[in-house]
Amino acid sequence: MPARTNKTPSARPKIGQRNTRQRAAVQDALEGITTFASAQDIHLMLTNNGQKVGLTTVYRTLQQLSDLGAIDTLHDSSGETLYRSCAMETHHHHLVCTNCRTTVEIDGGPVEAWAEETAAKYGFKKSGHTAEIFGLCESCVDK
């Protein structure tokens, strides 16, 4: 897996009219985690670190980053949206532990060709796809 790169504030995407201290704090929090996290998880992390960022600002920033394609999102089994700043900058998929949320980035392999072929078979021009694998990581299986 490629190493996570440290992004400088100037390399961050512009969100809305201006990049505020609160938005920068959300981006810093995302860069500091390696698992998918909910907006509530990120808000709690910020609060515990003494950052004064409202939950609405966290949600808004995450949505804007997602819309820009700057972060990955997925929905867990309850339908909650989870967010992550990924190390891979190219299209990829994830293995996600349903217990501890450990996440491994993987390339799509044969999924990529299957998605393209399936779309074409039904007359679709594919604009994107998602494929995540959920289960238990090795550590959680051993417990």
- Domain ranges in the chain are 16-87, 88-142
pLDDT at 6: 38
89 known ligand binder: no
- Between 36 and 69, the higher pLDDT residue: 36
Backbone angles phi, psi at 7, to 5 degrees: -95, 135
Task: Please state which of the four CATH numbers 1.10.10.10, 1.10.260.40, 1.10.3720.10, 3.30.1330.30 is assigned to the domain occupying 16-87.
Answer: 1.10.10.10
86 known ligand binder: no
pLDDT at 61: 94
137 known ligand binder: yes
- Between 27 and 6, the higher pLDDT residue: 27
pLDDT tens by residue, 51-98 = 999 999 999 999 999 988 889 898 887 888 999 988 777 888 889 898
pTM summary value: 0.72
Spatial distance between the Cα atoms of 85 and 81, rounded to a whole number of angstroms: 14
CATH of segment(s) 88-142: 3.30.1490.190
pLDDT tens by residue, 105-127 = 898 889 999 999 999 999 999 98
Backbone angles phi, psi at 100, to 5 degrees: -110, -5
pLDDT tens by residue, 5-25 = 334 444 556 565 566 889 899
Residue 4 scores a pLDDT above 50: no
Q: Do domains 16-87 and 88-142 have the same CATH topology?
A: no
97 known ligand binder: yes
Spatial distance between the Cα atoms of 121 and 142, rounded to a whole number of angstroms: 42
